[in-house]
Amino acid sequence: MAARGQEMSGLASLVKRAESEFFPWVIESVVIEDDAQLKNMSDLLGIGKNIANSLESARKADKQPHLDAAKAVDDRYKPQQSRVLLAVSRLDSAVLAYYRKKKAEAEALLKLQADEFAARHKAADALQLQQMQANAARAGECAQTGEVFDPIPLSPLPQPESLIARPVGRTIRGNMSATSVLVSYDYQIIDEDAVPLDLCSPDLKKIKARHHSGVKIIPGVLITPKPYTSTRLG
């Protein structure tokens, strides 16, 4: 309480000094008309600057105990925060690594299935073409001989099969949590001359807006995806 009273006393003293020695002589517009006024205004300027410096010093002194107390709180929490954040970082990396692995496996299986279906469809198309050509040739022969034309039934085209793998979702549901895998992007200008003129100087804000609008490639800019997790309990 005594220290607080001294702080207030110091501030009150400086305020009183400013009110008596400085403010009465300061008006909204100061116009110096002669050398005598110039000397007076120089003295007044010195008083004002001295009071301003004193207030700043008093403010810093008044604030310093609070800064020291805040640092003490930070120091008390930091060791445990660092341990927890290190563990969170390891868990985060493990979740993202497994997510990328499952995503890559699913995409590989889906591509394999798509390629196999495309190959079967291509073969069936070729077979149908052969059958249609054979039917056309047979129809021409029958037209000349008078035989009844009995077309070869066309082989059916293959139908898409059930997916052997499902695309990996972005949400991982635990017993009491839900973790979403989200993506942010890092933008690095690698060739300023190649960046479109409407995005220059280059302007990263405009570049990000262009990318978020759906433009995936921007000349002169390296865009790197950075997956991260967001977890909600409950």
d(CA 206, CA 221) in angstroms, rounded, equals 12
d(CA 209, CA 223) in angstroms, rounded, equals 13
pLDDT over threshold 80, residue 29: no
pLDDT digits (tens, 9 = 90+) for 178-203: 898 988 999 999 888 888 888 887 88
Contact 181/227 with Cβ under 8 angstroms?
yes
What percentage of the chain exceeds 70 in pLDDT?
91
d(CA 219, CA 217) in angstroms, rounded, equals 6
Number of residues that this document lists for the chain: 234
- Which pLDDT score, from 0 to 100, does residue 164 have? 62
- Which pLDDT score, from 0 to 100, does residue 1 have? 46
Whether residue 202 is preceded by a cis peptide bond, meaning omega within 30 degrees of 0, is yes
Beta strand 177-189 pairing with 171-173: antiparallel
pLDDT over threshold 90, residue 143: no
pLDDT over threshold 80, residue 161: no
pLDDT digits (tens, 9 = 90+) for 201-224: 788 889 999 999 999 999 999 999
Alpha-carbon dihedral angle through residues 194, 198, 199, 203, given to the nearest 10 degrees: 130
Average pLDDT, the chain: 85
Give the confidence band of 114 by pLDDT, cuts at 50, 70, 90: confident
Global pTM? 0.55
pLDDT digits (tens, 9 = 90+) for 32-75: 889 988 998 899 889 889 999 999 999 999 999 999 999 999 99
- Which pLDDT score, from 0 to 100, does residue 142 have? 87
pLDDT over threshold 50, residue 145: yes
- Which pLDDT score, from 0 to 100, does residue 169 have? 75
